[in-house]
Amino acid sequence: MYFNTVKINITILIFAVMVSGCSMQNNFSGPKMSKKEITKTLNDGCTIQRNKRERYKIDGKRYRTLSSSKGYKKRGVASWYGSQFDGKATACGERYDMYKYTAAHKTLPLPSYVNVKNLTNGKSVIVKINDRGPFVDNRIIDLSYAAAKKIDMLSAGTAVVRVTTVSEEEAAQSIKKKNPKSIFSTNIFEKIVSRNKNKILIQIGAFTEEKGAQELKKRVANIGVNSVFINKARSGRRIFYRVRVGPITNLESYEDTIKKLTSLKLDINLISQ
């Protein structure tokens, strides 16, 4: 990522589209929010401000940021970035949190809010643009780990997507509905432990052939996760080989394991037994 010092304020986009003499409703539901509610919900952590368009140069190529995100719509390839950048400063000044719905973009103002739709499976996610990148010619956006998981592109690493700008109000409504603060937060772990008193396992893959499960187990063991094992289970007439890690018995072990696992392109899920 390119950690540049820039922030361009967003103007809330409120518009009505007329079709055949009738006005269309906004494409999000929920009561209208006040400016104060929107600001509180978005909880913007960007600290770097700039009042004009920015020009910068990376690897010999020049970029110029847009003065507004209004009307932005583009199709292209998305990628994602994870634990190697977790906790580092983003271009707008806040820290990158791989478990929040954020993204990096080369030219959109910071912050901006966009809807990213995976055109392969139809899944979508609203993210906050708070960083610069990806600086690869054929890619238009770099998603956080959480956002990539949401639209099911972790395993592939990239996906063809459509990026469309949304208003601050729509972004705030999305946060209130889904609360994407952290998909593997320590609070979730603590709640599962306190309520269930059961063993916490992390499932990282399921295969119909044992060979694939063994290969994934080896990959995970090679990054220092020693408690990985294969669970053989039958579902109807089919047999599945589920690759799991655990049991996870304490918070320190949980945080260390999650950090290691998210460095790989894996779809991670918590389960309790």
In this structure, the dihedral spanned by the alpha carbons of residues 224, 227, 228 and 232, taken in order and rounded to 10 degrees, is 170
The per-residue pLDDT for 261 is 86
How many Å apart are CA 98 and CA 257, to the nearest integer? 15
How many Å apart are CA 168 and CA 176, to the nearest integer? 12
Q: Which fold has domain 18-178?
A: Barwin-like endoglucanases (2.40.40)
How many Å apart are CA 42 and CA 59, to the nearest integer? 33
How many Å apart are CA 93 and CA 132, to the nearest integer? 11
Which pLDDT band holds residue 15 (cuts at 50, 70, 90)?
very low
Mean pLDDT of 116-144: 94
How many Å apart are CA 154 and CA 159, to the nearest integer? 9
How many Å apart are CA 41 and CA 36, to the nearest integer? 9
Say yes or no to pLDDT of 214 above 80: yes
Q: What is the CA radius of gyration of the chain?
A: 21
**What are the structure tokens assigned to 268, written together?**
């991670």
Domain boundaries, the chain: 18-178, 186-272
Q: Which fold has domain 186-272?
A: Alpha-Beta Plaits (3.30.70)
In this structure, the dihedral spanned by the alpha carbons of residues 117, 113, 126 and 89, taken in order and rounded to 10 degrees, is 110
| Residues 93-114: tens digit of each pLDDT | 898 888 889 999 999 999 999 9
* pTM, to two decimals: 0.64
| Residues 17-48: tens digit of each pLDDT | 333 333 333 445 556 888 888 887 787 788 87
The per-residue pLDDT for 234 is 85
Q: Which residue shows structure tokens 């610069």? A: 132
